[in-house]
């Protein structure tokens, strides 16, 4: 059974006057569309649009939370890389005790980061519905 691909491969380019572009963006922001391309496609293909009030503060909050989630992932990666380098110094007794202490603190941090990420994902799922 072959699956039919729904990739969009054709481009449509158009030029607008600044006032036309502003009107398009103003109308776009009144809909539930996430991207201007989705909005434009629906207009051109005469598909139904859902116009509704969007909670701008929630949109801003979710944008910030998604940025924070990315930063948390980066911090976790950096910490893991640092620990891998420190493990090469495990022969020195002071480093060995520091590594053991660090591992416990790292696990606590990672548990909290995971809890934050799960909460962000839960809020994001509700936001996207």
Alpha-carbon radius of gyration of the chain:
24
Q: CA–CA separation, 84 vs 125, rounded Å?
A: 34
pTM over the 0.85 mark: no
pLDDT digits (tens, 9 = 90+) for 112-128: 888 888 888 887 777 66
Find all residues with CB under 8 Å of 76, minimum gap 6, and list them: 110, 113
pLDDT digits (tens, 9 = 90+) for 4-31: 667 888 888 889 999 999 999 888 888 8
- Domain parsing of the chain, residue ranges: 14-53, 56-128
Query: Out of 13-17, 38-42, 68-72, 96-100, which region has the weakest mean confidence (pLDDT)?
Result: 96-100
**Cα 9 from chain centre:** 25
């Amino acid at each position: 059974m072959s699956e039919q691909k729904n990739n969009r491969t054709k481009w449509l380019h158009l030029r607008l006057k600044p006032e036309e572009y502003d009107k398009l963006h103003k109308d776009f922001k009144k809909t539930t569309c996430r991207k201007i391309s989705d909005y434009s496609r629906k207009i051109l293909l005469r598909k139904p649009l859902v116009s509704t009030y969007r909670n701008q503060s929630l949109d801003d909050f979710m944008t910030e939370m998604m940025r924070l989630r990315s930063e948390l992932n980066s911090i976790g990666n950096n910490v893991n890389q640092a620990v891998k380098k420190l493990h090469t110094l495990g022969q020195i007794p002071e480093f060995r005790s520091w590594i053991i202490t660090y591992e416990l603190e790292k696990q606590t941090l990672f548990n909290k980061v995971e809890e934050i990420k799960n909460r962000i994902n839960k809020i994001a799922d509700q936001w996207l519905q």
